[in-house]
């Protein structure tokens, strides 16, 4: 199971953990103790009232799931999430760079491309909001440059 992230209702930085929804509210179940098992974590937290686990209410529109992909620029240490704005390229050729938003339409993650550029060429052009590509296989995420929640200006040209 892949983790989730969301921005708390107090508007601070993203929190990471497992998604729990209840009564039209979204919570990220954040564990402070890495030794706790991920499976049945919600049930564990409710029944044990464990102080090492906490429910953090988040803004539902900011919730995004991890894709399982890593940001190449950060040497594969930064997880790529739904809602990230990314620079991507084909693994075979890195001279054509696409900028887009990582989206999720079950059961796959996509790059909703809206801009592309050829390395070394100043011109770029809009490739259209409906241009989506599966993010797996031949694609690589070169760099996460922001999120749609914290840097919406990056999706504009």
**CATH of segment(s) 64-155:** 2.30.30
Instruction: Give me the residue label for tokens 């921005």.
Output: 7
Q: How far is CA 4 from CA 58, 78, 125, in A?
A: 11, 14, 32
Q: Sheet holding 15-22: strands in order across? A: 53-58, 25-31, 15-22, 4-6, 64-70, 79-81
Distance separating alpha carbons of residues 96 and 130, to the nearest angstrom = 19
Domain ranges of the chain: 4-62, 64-155
Secondary-structure breakdown of the chain: helix, strand, coil percentages, each rounded to the nearest 5: 10, 50, 40
Q: Note the pLDDT of residue 62.
A: 96
Confidence (pLDDT) at 150: 92
Tell me the three state secondary structure of residue 10.
Answer: coil
Rounded Cα distance, 5 and 17, in Å: 6
Per-residue pLDDT tens listing for the chain (157 residues): 688 999 999 888 899 988 989 899 999 987 655 555 554 455 545 545 554 567 889 999 999 999 988 888 877 678 999 999 988 887 776 677 788 888 888 888 888 876 666 554 444 444 454 566 767 667 788 889 999 999 988 876 5
């Amino acid at each position: 199971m892949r983790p989730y992230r969301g921005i708390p209702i107090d508007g601070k930085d993203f929190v990471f953990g497992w998604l729990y929804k209840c009564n039209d509210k979204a919570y990220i179940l954040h564990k402070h103790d890495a030794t706790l098992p991920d499976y049945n974590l919600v049930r564990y937290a409710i029944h044990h009232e464990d102080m090492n686990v906490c429910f953090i209410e988040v803004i539902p529109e900011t919730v995004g799931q991890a894709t399982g992909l890593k940001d190449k620029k950060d040497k594969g240490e930064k997880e790529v999430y739904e809602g990230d704005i990314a620079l991507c390229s084909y693994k075979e050729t890195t001279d054509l760079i696409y900028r887009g938003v990582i989206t999720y339409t079950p059961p796959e993650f996509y790059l909703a491309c809206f801009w592309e550029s050829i390395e070394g060429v100043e011109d770029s052009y809009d490739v259209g909001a409906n241009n989506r590509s599966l993010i797996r296989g031949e694609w690589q995420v070169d760099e996460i440059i922001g999120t749609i929640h914290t840097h919406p200006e990056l999706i504009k040209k």
